[in-house]
Amino acid sequence: MNHHIFNNLFILLILFFSSTSLFSKTTINVFHTFKESGLHIQELKNSIVLNYNSKGLLIDSTIYSHTTPLNKKYVYVTGKEERLKLERTFKKEVILSYLFEYNKAGKKMSITLYGNDDNILWKEFLKYDSNQNLIKRLKYDPSKAINPEMMTSQKNSNKTTWAEIYDYDSTGTVLTRKEIYNDYILVITTFDIDSLNIPKKRSEYFDPSIILQTTLFHNSKNQIRHEITVDRFGKSLGSKKYEYDFLGRKIKKIIYNETGLTDGTLRSVYDDDNFKFYDYHYNNSMKLLSTREVILDGLDRNYIELILEGDEKILEKSVYYYDKKNRISKIKKYDMVRKGKEYKNKIPIILHTYEYD
């Protein structure tokens, strides 16, 4: 990196692209089962509304809670006419809302989380390199970004932006990089330039509004091989390392704690001949904690998903159903541990239904 090229000050400004025009909507309803007066009742507990733009990108999602007393409920009808019968009307209230923004390449560039009173809980920026590889995730609380010295004069009120400013000292041996998000400096990194003109990081400052920062590193195939997460003090919160098979599928994830010791391992095994794959979760001593087994259908879609304690006892079973357009229509989740003659795993404990507009 040559400081003469940058001529003491270089600003890289990237505008976020977001299409807010609604093109389609998907509603996911989450029902819970219980039994009352000999009837199996499905209460609507939550719903999620997903809005997409004309490019098929998710632009926002809202999670609702349905306060449904027993006199406002769904009856689950079994047999040939299996369906949910609405007994009464219901009310809902917003729990959380997410807003997503994208760049012109269709890569997600920011996520904003809103509370039930429309206040921003946090905002996360995602940065990419020239190959559109994700290289950084930075989450912060905008309500705490209040230091006037960290505010810039750039005004892009209608668009989300991020920028990098590079500044050299008078000797040309010290480089300072300021990372600006929505006109506010969140990260300042100082580098020493050696005799070969190679920058070496000396220090890094995080604004108190930062919640965490994750830096990602890629291999020659543009696959994520390693990621490191730190808090606003630069203290490690842990890291992850990834391995892939010859088809580019992730086969191993090693999780390290803040001290660098192994905290857990996730191994994925693909049984292509039998249309199955397995996820094995181990603790730090490589004891198998849980297994996720997924059986695919003839169209390579999830059909049955099993969650096992270790590799023997089945805890949960989920069955996926699809419509004629190859979209998920419902997911039935069964509690395989629950006992009692009235269940016998015939009625799903949780039912997800999908509605498409």
| C-alpha torsion sign, points 74, 355, 279, 258 | negative
Contact 172, 199 (CB under 8 A): no
Beta strand residue intervals within 132-235, DSSP E: 134-140, 161-168, 174-181, 184-193, 199-206, 210-218, 224-230
Note the pLDDT of residue 179. 94
| pTM of the predicted protein model | 0.82
User: pLDDT tens-digit profile of 297-308?
Assistant: 999 999 999 999
User: pLDDT tens-digit profile of 78-92?
Assistant: 555 565 555 555 578
Sorting pLDDT into bands at 50, 70 and 90, what band is 38?
A: low
pLDDT at 341 over 50: no
Q: Would you give the distance in Å from CA 232 to the centre of its chain?
A: 20
Sorting pLDDT into bands at 50, 70 and 90, what band is 42?
A: confident
Distance between CA 206 and CA 188 in Å, rounded? 7
Distance between CA 223 and CA 228 in Å, rounded? 15
pLDDT at 343 over 90: no
pLDDT at 159 over 70: no
Tokens 């400004």 sit on residue: 13
pLDDT at 238 over 50: yes
> Mean pLDDT over all residues of the chain?
85
Max mean pLDDT among 13-22, 30-39, 168-177, 207-216 falls in 207-216
pLDDT at 351 over 80: yes
Distance between CA 322 and CA 333 in Å, rounded? 15
